Structures are given as C-alpha cells and as structure tokens.
Amino acid sequence: MFRIGMQMYTLREPAAQDLEGTFRAVAEMGYAGAQISGIDAPPERIAEVLKECGLEPAGAHVGLERMETDFDGVIADARTIGYTGIAVPYLGADRRRTAAEWEAVARAMDGLGARMKKEGIQLMYHNHNFEFEPVAGTTGYEIIWSNVDLDNLQPEVDTYWAAFAGDNPAKLLERFAGHMDLVHAKDGRLGVKDPKFEPVGDGDLDWPPILAATAAGGANWLLVEQDTCDGSPFDAARRSLENIRRLLSK
C-alpha cells in the first residue's frame, strides 16, 4: 500500500521563513514523507531536517535544464538527501511548440532516465494540462510515452491537472500500472476557465477510483500538493490528509 507524503511546494512560503518548523509541522500532521520542491536550502540541511523530523525523503522535482547541464550535481543531491526518484516538474514553452520538439524532449528525458537508472534513480515526468492539448493530430502527452522506455521514464500523474485538461486521472493511473512510483494527489474545481485548487477531497475529483488505481498500480507514494491555497497552507495540508484517511477507511 502506498504511503502519504507532502509535496513541499505546497508549503514553500512558510518553509522559506522556518524550514525546520515547516517540516516538523508536516510530520506532526501525520505525513510519512516529503517530496522536495520549492525548497531553497542546501541538500545537507534538508537531509538533516528530514532526519530530525522523522520524515522519509519521497523524491524531488528538478528542472530538466539542470539535469542536462549538471547531471553529477543532481545525483549528488539525491545521494545526500536520500531520495531515489526525480521528476521533471515542468516543460518550458520553448521546448513544446511542435510535435518534433515534443519528440526531441521525450528522447532527451529517455536518455537522462537511462543514465539515472544506472545510478539507482528513477526519472519521472510530472504533467500539467498543456500536455493534453492537440498537436499534429495527437497530444504532447502521447508523443512523450510513444518515444520513451517506461523503465527509463515514468509518469508522475498529477490528478487535478489531468482532470482539468479533460482526461480521467483514474484511467490514466490504470494505464501506467506498474510504472508509477509517485502520484500527485491534487484536487480542485472542474469546468472552470482557470484552475481553482482545493484540499484533496474538497474539490470535484472522484477520489475512490483514483485511490484504488493508485494502490493497484503499485505506487509507493501518494503526494499531496496544492499549488495555491485560499487560507493557510498548513490548514489545507491537514485537511487533505484527513480527507484521504477518511476515504481510505471506507
């Protein structure tokens, strides 16, 4: 069964003011681990705080450009902090204008993933909604997975962004069963022009099939993320965990 972790991008602002206090709050809420993203601190300090708070390192987000230009540094950070999964968090518009660019970036990620595999690290790609937009009779998302080996690159499915784009996140998770270590649990409003984020379980997503597909697909971590919060991000994080536990208990 998967464990539940916090995607620290959710708490990036309080973490910038009080790193240890923020991680400690995550542990006290009952989260088992933390994914490193949006945290501006030396890897040695992050490792120290994780250990002090009793949190497992549940992967990290690292920009594709850094992986391409500082591969050894990326691996060194992973070794220091202790995570074995790295996800590409976003793809700049200048690398996804045409089908050819999508193919090129897919091949680049496949090659990086093969190199990381030799280092004991799994490379992943985190979706937003633009991957599902039409391009040359298909979508960027389909182009990626048609040009990579799933042993080299796994999807890190973001449930809300997939649903916001009109896809079915549960079906997406079922499609990649056996090839998804990390899943982003994100919720919000659907059928709106602009994304509106909510704590997991308070938005419009249908969570029972998503949670079932996450478990059946062999994911190790379900990572809670809320890009922006109307109120306290700590309250949102706590609410998400409570809702997930309630849903899993049914």
- The predicted-structure confidence for 27-47, as pLDDT tens digits, reads as follows 999 999 999 999 999 999 999
Residue 101 burial (10 A CB sphere; 0-12, 13-18, 19+)? middle
Q: What is the pLDDT of residues 100-138, one digit of tens each?
A: 999 999 999 999 999 999 999 999 999 999 999 999 999
| Mean pLDDT computed over 217-234 | 98
Report long-range pairs for 116-120 (Cβ below 8 Å, ≥24 apart).
116/75, 116/86, 117/151, 117/152, 119/75, 119/78, 120/84
Q: What is the pLDDT of residues 90-99, one digit of tens each?
A: 999 999 999 9
The amino acid present at 159, given as its one-letter code, is: T
3-state secondary structure of 13: helix
Beta bridge partners of 184: 158, 223
Q: What is the CATH number of domain 3-249?
A: 3.20.20.150
Q: Where are the domains of the chain?
A: 3-249
What's the confidence (pLDDT) of residue 175?
Answer: 98
- Residue 56 reports pLDDT greater than 90: yes
Does residue 178 come out as left (phi exceeding 0), alpha (psi in the -120 to 50 range) or beta? left
- Residue 250 reports pLDDT greater than 90: no
Question: What are the CA-CA distances from residue 138 to residues 101, 115, 144, 146 (Å)?
Answer: 14, 28, 11, 11
